[in-house]
């Protein structure tokens, strides 16, 4: 997740309302459970994932990755470790995809194709947690839990490999680089190796929710985002003789105020949006009017249309408001750290939401599957969801008997490693039952539909 995400403040859970159409659920689950054991799979997979040897293996992988955190598009050792484990499991894969990415395949090799995704990158943070497996790379840390995400998808791969006979299609394992602002998901798509995916699932650890619970929602879950940098140029001079200068400090100040009108006066109050100016740099002396001021910030919205509208108006307001004060302005919506112009909102497919409710409910109990309010943070998983149906959810980590865990993107962030089997089993169950459901939808009507694949 991105830096600006503050889980503890923004995330709140309410008991889920049973929105499922009971008739549809009952009819589908009864026919499938009798023929495929669909409802037993999640619990069976969780039991397997909780075996001591499986847990120890996942914990070992997670700790190794944690000790050697690598930033976006530099995940070479992490990628190597994943490939070694895939080799040991006898799982074929494509590599390299988008520098360090890996795409593995478990199952029949035939359609349908359902993907599960892990992000591999760390953050430029100095770890302050003193423990045996502390980051050995100064200034770098797995402070967003992507080490756990990798371990969970590898855990899922192990479960799937052990239950190959239950796979009615192919599970695609997606290990992507550079989630933290690098748009690794977009690059994986651009590489053309995910063209036939029917659905994709992704998860994120959540420090503030109890272990054994999961949370998500249908439709928009996380905001789309963009960033801007602007240079407002005037004419420098002596601060005591302003009539001989064109003051960019005053112009930029008015720009900041005017930008606040975009959300408060132009956006639909029911369509949540954010425009924040987080950077304001100009001047270096109390008695000198500078030549220029640089400002920068982020904007967020839950639809692409709103994002595009904000982007257009941010540019117009900065240039127009600067001109009012006789300044000129340039506006840039990309930078080297974040080459993509706009990150789309994370929008969960409604059918996959129902699938998630059922699978997670079967594994954890329906009361452990929580509804979640949308959050203004963003995730590059959204790029996959633009290409095919996708579903993103959060998995709780807090043990009620332990001290409160720290938020992601903080130097004292820790993972409760007890969640690893949950994440692995959820990935494996969501994928396996998705394939079984897809098969059962085709099978009963006469057998000719297989030709459509």
Q: Is 435 in the site for Zn ion (CB under 5 A)?
A: no
Residue identified by tokens 């109390």 is 286
Contact region with Zn ion (CB under 5 A), list: 6-14, 139-147, 182-190, 286-294: 139-147
Give the residue with the Cβ less far from Zn ion, 361 or 423: 423
Q: Which two tokens stand for residue 442?
A: 């085709």
Site for Zn ion in 213-272 (CB under 5 A): none
Give the residue with the Cβ less far from Zn ion, 179 or 349: 179
Shortest Cβ 69–Zn ion spacing (Å): 12
Alpha helices (H) along 191-332: 248-261, 304-324
Is 353 annotated among the ligand-binding residues? no
Site for Zn ion in 383-412 (CB under 5 A): none
Shortest Cβ 143–Zn ion spacing (Å): 7
Is 146 annotated among the ligand-binding residues? yes
Shortest Cβ 388–Zn ion spacing (Å): 21
| Chain centroid offset of residue 235 CA | 44
Q: Which residues contact 256 (CB under 8 A, 6 or more apart)?
A: 277, 280, 295
Shortest Cβ 254–Zn ion spacing (Å): 34
- For residue 95, what is the enclosing H or E element? strand 93-97
Among 114, 144, 252, 420, binds Zn ion (CB under 5 A): 144
Determine if the peptide bond prior to 96 is cis (ω within 30°).
yes
Give the residue with the Cβ less far from Zn ion, 1 or 363: 1
Q: Is 1 in the site for Zn ion (CB under 5 A)?
A: yes
Q: How big is the site for Zn ion, counted in residues (CB under 5 A)?
A: 2
Give the residue with the Cβ less far from Zn ion, 1 or 420: 1
Cα radius of gyration rounded to whole Å, the chain: 24
Overall residue count recorded for the chain in this entry: 453
Give the residue with the Cβ less far from Zn ion, 1 or 194: 1
| Chain centroid offset of residue 88 CA | 28
Give the residue with the Cβ less far from Zn ion, 168 or 427: 427
Give the residue with the Cβ less far from Zn ion, 6 or 211: 6
Is 144 annotated among the ligand-binding residues? yes
Q: Which residues contact 287 (CB under 8 A, 6 or more apart)?
A: 238, 239, 240
Q: Is 170 helix (H, G, I), strand (E, B) or coil?
A: strand
Shortest Cβ 382–Zn ion spacing (Å): 13
Contact region with Zn ion (CB under 5 A), list: 125-133, 143-151, 285-293, 394-402: 143-151
Shortest Cβ 118–Zn ion spacing (Å): 10
Q: Is 203 in the site for Zn ion (CB under 5 A)?
A: no
Shortest Cβ 409–Zn ion spacing (Å): 6
Q: Which two tokens stand for residue 229?
A: 């940098």
Contact region with Zn ion (CB under 5 A), list: 140-148, 194-202, 267-275, 301-309: 140-148
Q: Which residues contact 84 (CB under 8 A, 6 or more apart)?
A: none
Q: Which two tokens stand for residue 307?
A: 């994002």
Q: How far apart are CA 451 and CA 448, in angstroms?
A: 6
Q: How far apart are CA 318 and CA 330, in angstroms?
A: 8
The CA-based angle 40-116-203, given to 5 degrees, is: 85
Q: What are phi and psi of 129, to 5 degrees?
A: -80, 125
Q: Which residue is nearest to Zn ion (CB)?
A: 144
Cβ atoms of residues 11 and 206 within 8 Å: yes
Residues that bind Zn ion (CB under 5 A): 1, 144
User: Binding site for Mn(2+), residues?
Assistant: 144, 146, 180, 204, 409
User: Binding site, residues?
Assistant: 144, 146, 180, 204, 409
């Amino acid at each position: 997740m991105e830096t600006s995400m503050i889980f503890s403040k923004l995330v709140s859970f309410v008991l889920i309302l049973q929105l499922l159409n009971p008739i549809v659920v009952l009819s589908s689950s009864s026919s499938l459970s009798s023929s495929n054991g669909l409802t037993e799979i999640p619990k069976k997979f969780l039991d397997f994932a909780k075996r001591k040897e499986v847990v120890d293996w996942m914990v070992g992988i997670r700790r190794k990755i944690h000790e050697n955190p690598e930033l976006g598009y530099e995940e070479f050792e992490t990628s190597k470790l994943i490939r070694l484990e895939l080799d040991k499991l006898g799982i074929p894969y494509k590599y390299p995809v988008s520098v360090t990415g890996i795409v593995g395949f478990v199952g029949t090799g035939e359609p349908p194709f359902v993907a599960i995704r892990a992000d591999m990158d760390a953050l430029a943070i100095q770890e302050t947690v003193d423990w045996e497996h502390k980051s050995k790379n100064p200034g770098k840390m797995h402070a967003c839990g992507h080490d756990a995400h990798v371990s969970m998808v590898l855990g899922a791969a192990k479960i799937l490999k052990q239950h190959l006979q239950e796979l009615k299609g192919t599970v695609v394992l997606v290990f992507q680089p550079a989630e933290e602002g690098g748009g690794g998901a977009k690059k994986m798509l651009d590489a053309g190796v995910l063209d036939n995916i029917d659905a994709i699932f992704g998860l994120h650890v959540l420090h503030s929710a109890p272990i054994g619970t999961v949370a998500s929602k249908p439709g928009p879950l996380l905001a789309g985002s963009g960033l801007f940098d602007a240079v407002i140029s005037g004419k420098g001079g002596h601060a005591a003789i302003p009539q001989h200068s064109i003051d960019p400090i005053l112009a930029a100040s008015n720009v900041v105020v005017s930008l606040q009108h975009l959300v408060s006066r132009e956006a639909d109050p029911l369509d949540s949006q954010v425009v924040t100016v987080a950077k304001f740099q100009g001047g270096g002396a109390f008695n000198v009017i500078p030549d220029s001021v640089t400002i920068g910030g982020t904007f967020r919205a839950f639809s692409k249309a709103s994002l595009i509208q904000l982007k257009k108006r941010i540019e117009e307001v900065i240039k127009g408001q600067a001109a009012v004060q006789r300044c000129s302005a340039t506006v840039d919506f990309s930078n080297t750290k974040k080459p993509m112009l706009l990150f789309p909102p994370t929008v969960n497919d409604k059918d996959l939401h129902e699938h998630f409710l059922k699978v997670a409910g079967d594994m954890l109990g329906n009361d452990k599957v929580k509804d979640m309010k949308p959050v203004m943070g963003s995730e590059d998983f959204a790029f996959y969801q633009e290409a095919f149906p996708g579903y993103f959810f959060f998995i709780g980590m807090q043990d009620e008997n332990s001290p409160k865990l720290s938020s992601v993107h903080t130097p004292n962030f820790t993972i409760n490693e007890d969640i690893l089997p949950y994440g692995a089993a959820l990935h494996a169950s969501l994928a396996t039952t998705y394939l079984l459901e897809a098969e059962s939808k085709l099978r009963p009507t006469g057998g000719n539909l297989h030709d459509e694949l």
